[in-house]
Chains A and B, each alone.
Chain A
Amino acid sequence: MNRTVDVLVVGGGPAGLAAAARLAAAGAGRVEVLEREEAAGGAPRHCGRAGFGPYTGPEYARRAVAEAVRAGAVVRTGAGATGWAGALGGALPLGPGRGQPGAGDGAVRERTTEGPLAGPAGGHRPPTTERRGTARGATGPAGPAGPAGHPLVLEVTAPTGLERITARAVVLATGARERPRSARLVPGSRPAGVLSTGELQQSVELFGLRGERIGRRAVVVGSEPVARHAVGTLRRAGVAVVAVVSDRADGPRLPCPVLRGATVRELVGRGRLSGVVVRAADGRAGLLRCDTVVFTGDWLPDHELARSGGVPLDAATRGPSVDPALRTRVPGVFAAGNLLRGVEPAVVAAAEGRAVASAVLAHLAGAAWPDPGPALLPAGSLRWVTPGRLSPSGASGPAPVLSLRPATRLVHPTLTVTQDDRLLHRQRIPAFLAPHRSLRHPATWAGAADPAGGAVTVRLEAGRTESRGGSRGGRGS
């Protein structure tokens, strides 16, 4: 079945629904949201707690769906985009490196003027064309769009059948997931009882699992706010929380024992988990007896569709590289929400959904797809910055608001912005920054950047040195 829509939004979470609501309300034509789950609403659906504006997660999700539908968007559930058919379409031989001139050259200042299809963005991960392409009859080497103006075609699987949906604009809002135990390389046995927060919350909130159906004694691993939510979900379900293991010395304060500066070294148990070996801050190791362990946080963008379509990614976030209008480097393809970098609160993702709508409308009205502006590269104690590029046109319009995510806890850090060894901006930030929260930074200096110049380095450095043992990221925790 082949169909055509004006805007196809992939992902019915807060960002996708907000984008669809605004686009439909603004008269963008047929706006369709594809949600692969049985119900739309995204992660808030299974966050059975307050903190979504004035609502609980499920209430927030229902309202977001209702708003999009009321505005006239079509929200389809149980329908998943599995790949790009593309203008070039057809099965092509597999092969690494195809369509990737310059792959792996590591250059960070390259700016391509031939458009995004000429190759990967400098310094970005090469858009490896996925092997699923062949078997699934998907992507050509040039990505989904071909030369600018070609239609965007997505392949969709739904109980009603296979479809090819052609869209004038595609908004990717596929969200994020937690890095699982395996990818964190936590050694040990492979028993039952190892969960992520996502699986835990869905088990409890969507499938009604309670108490011993989950486990009796749980250990939660992680330092981000979601660790608190995992503790809350476990307790509501009637599971005792033995401890929270946080690799940061300034780990969260929670109503249960928190082992700060500690890491999980090994999982133990045959069949069912029987304990986790934890190394404490003082170097001593011990076994925490438990039958359940929840690995939380350490978010990753769910970039499968973006990457399989050859949408260049940002090296630091691993989400699509976007400019302040949330345009990716493939004409007609936009990205919003947690796909861009991992988790921010739902209201932030929804705000991005609303923001992307303006650029989509301009695109539908015929605005040219601009060449990409200079890349923003994080440096020092900055883990990532989004959007990861500046506008290509320089100082027109208001200054973009960037999200800056520190890698470690910082006290009154100094922010330095340089381009081609030219200082654009320096500022002391009178605040404490924590690695689980982004700093919103109006880039008032953006007008000073040369839109035709090289990459812009955004550096965050500790103002006052603080001796803290926190480590960056959660890998190997």
Chain B
Amino acid sequence: MSVTRCGVLPDTSAPGDAYDVTVVGAGVVGCAIARELARYRLRVALVEASGDVGEGSSKANTAILHTGFDAVPGSLEARLVREGGRMLAAYADEAGIAVEPVGALLVAWDEEQLAALPRLADKAARNGHHGTRPVSAAELRAREPHLGPGALGALDVPGESVVDPWSTPLAYATQAVRSGVDLHLDCRVEKVRPGGPGVPHRLITRRGVLRTRFLVNACGLYADAFDALVGRHDFTVTPRRGQLVVFDPFARALVRHILLPVPGPLGKGVLIAPTVFGNVLLGPTAEDLDDRTATGSTAEGLAALRAQGRRILPALLDEEVTAVYAGLRAATGTEDYRIAAHPELRYVTVGGIRSTGLTASLALGRHTVELLADAGLELGAERPLAPVRMPNLGEASPRPYQDAERIARDPAYGRVVCHCERVTRGEIRDALASTVPPASLDGLRRRTRARAGRCQGFSCGAAVRALFEEGTR
């Protein structure tokens, strides 16, 4: 029912006051689980170490809504991605989250890759995706005229889409909070004192003690560390860094589909994809690291991306770069999610959620709640969730600055503050007054696109900061 960022946590010491379920980690997966739990008359907490939702791997991914065509057939991931993809597409429509079903082309650049395409089509079919189709070099050229020389053919994968990755976890969290979930931000869990029969778990956090009957680990890169707090040592998370380059919206006309590489022995490779914000993405790299905080880009990584981008789409490199970022995915050494229920501990770990986590999130939420029920959580009757409608950040539908009626009703939507991204004062005001307000300028950017554009604050940075400070005072 509330969002807290500071101060002592609500008192859960009385026998009846403990939370029924606490989800630790407010990334896209944790938020989806909390939202799913909000369907029931349960006392639920969503606890997050950082100051905002979606601050970890969730904010820095490739923003693709997968069909799951290339998952390992029969794996849990394959099933949850397939189901979750459909669920998220429907949810996005209902919640106003931008999705563009641009489709994907798996482009073959040599004979070996060309020979691999039928196998990939077969794999897709085994994953329930029967719509793939081989594309000749000539057709490929016609569909992607700016492609570099040497492409031999492709596999058409309809249904692959791009999605707004920022609004998705935010929509889940907003809906969860409006439906009664307590979201505690800046609330790192430092210790866990597991409970016993009839005795709740005690989470020792930076902001005090929180008692809960059931516990869900949705800690992403720190899932193994959290497991250790409750005495489990089932897997190790190896952060795998992906660096990405975002090109200026002028590059958007150069590419019509998600251009996927043919996966080879060296990994999944580098893709080029449009974004719903109207940019073009190039990436990611794949670097296994030890440091779970190493979200920096490197000169080598950027040089490698540019070299590959130049081959795939030569004209892309003539366009300006808008942003560079790096995200870490939670690799665990197996080609599947690491989801484990421990009924004796009233504990579920949702670990090893890799780059497909955004797509699978809603299915992960449902799956986790099923596991909790199996572990003894009494759900009771389902009730409808509070409705949520997110501000549209996508370029495929009209934005407020283009909406004459809206501006006539409220001139703040006609006052453009961030000119590159055309973000209005009305949108910034709304974000600051929203259910889960931003805690930082970066958080404001993920809610409005303010400062995300080509000038990176040259023109609007000072004004956006002033509005943010005024609005959060």
Interface residues of chain A, those whose CB is within 8 Å of chain B, are 36, 78, 80, 82, 94-97, 104, 125, 128-132, 135-137, 157-162, 177-183, 185, 187-190, 192, 195-196, 198-199, 202-203, 206-207, 209, 265-268, 270, 300, 304, 307
Contact = CB atoms under 8 A, between A and B. Distances in A.
Given A131-B253, A183-B320, 4 more contacts: A131-B249, A161-B408, A206-B462, A209-B462
A189 B295 contact: yes
B123 interface: no
A135 B396 contact: yes
A203 B467 CA distance: 12
Nearest to B250: A128
A130 B250 CA distance: 6
B367 interface: no
Nearest to B394: A135
Contact of B323 (A125, A162, A182): A182
A362 to B, nearest CB: 32
B162 to A, nearest CB: 13
Contacts of B191: none
B243 to A, nearest CB: 9
B299 A265 contact: yes
Given A177-B455, A183-B320, A185-B321, A135 B416 contact: no
A139 B254 CA distance: 17
Given A159-B412, A199-B462, A131 B395 contact: yes
Contacts of B420: 304
B456 interface: yes
Contacts of A307: 250
A104 B456 contact: no
Contacts of A199: 457-458, 461-462
B96 interface: no
Nearest to B146: A96
B131 interface: no
B455 A180 contact: yes
Given A180-B455, A182-B323, A185-B302, A78 B463 contact: no
Contacts of B408: 161
A392 to B, nearest CB: 28
B293 A96 contact: no
A180 B250 contact: no
Contact of A131 (B252, B293, B415): B252
B324 interface: yes
Contacts of A178: 458
Most interface-central of B296, B404, B462, B466 (chain A CB within 10 A): B462
B297 A187 contact: yes
Contacts of A137: 402
B256 interface: yes
A132 B465 contact: no
B422 interface: yes
B112 interface: no
B411 interface: yes
B296 A188 contact: yes
6 A-B pairs with least C-beta separation: A180-B456, A202-B462, A199-B461, A159-B411, A198-B458, A131-B252
A130 B442 CA distance: 27
Contact of A182 (B145, B321, B398, B462): B321
A95 B274 CA distance: 13
A135 B421 CA distance: 13
A160 B414 contact: yes
B322 interface: yes
B134 interface: no
Contacts of B146: 96-97
Contacts of A80: 416, 419
A34 to B, nearest CB: 12
Contacts of A157: 401-402, 407, 414, 416, 422
B386 interface: no
Nearest to A138: B402
Given A80-B416, A157-B402, A198-B459, A190 B325 contact: yes
Nearest to A268: B296
Interface string B413-449: 0111001101000000000000000001110000000
A36 B455 CA distance: 15
A137 B399 CA distance: 12
Given A97-B146, A187-B302, A36 B416 contact: yes
Contacts of A187: 296-299, 301-302, 324
Nearest to A1: B404
Contacts of B415: 78, 158-159
A215 B456 CA distance: 19
B395 A135 contact: yes
B298 A96 contact: no
Contact of A203 (B252, B293, B401, B462): B462
A158 B325 CA distance: 33
B315 interface: yes
B441 A160 contact: no
Given A135-B396, A136-B402, A202-B462, A183 B253 contact: no
A104 B315 contact: yes
Contacts of A198: 455, 457-459, 461
A421 to B, nearest CB: 28
12 contacts: A36-B416, A82-B402, A137-B402, A158-B415, A159-B412, A159-B414, A161-B407, A178-B458, A180-B458, A192-B441, A195-B461, A203-B462
A131 B255 CA distance: 11
B278 interface: yes
A207 B145 contact: no
A188 B293 CA distance: 12
B318 interface: yes
Contacts of A135: 395-399, 402
A94 B253 contact: yes
B146 to A, nearest CB: 5
A178 B454 CA distance: 10
A35 to B, nearest CB: 11
B298 A132 contact: no
Nearest to B325: A190
A198 B457 CA distance: 8
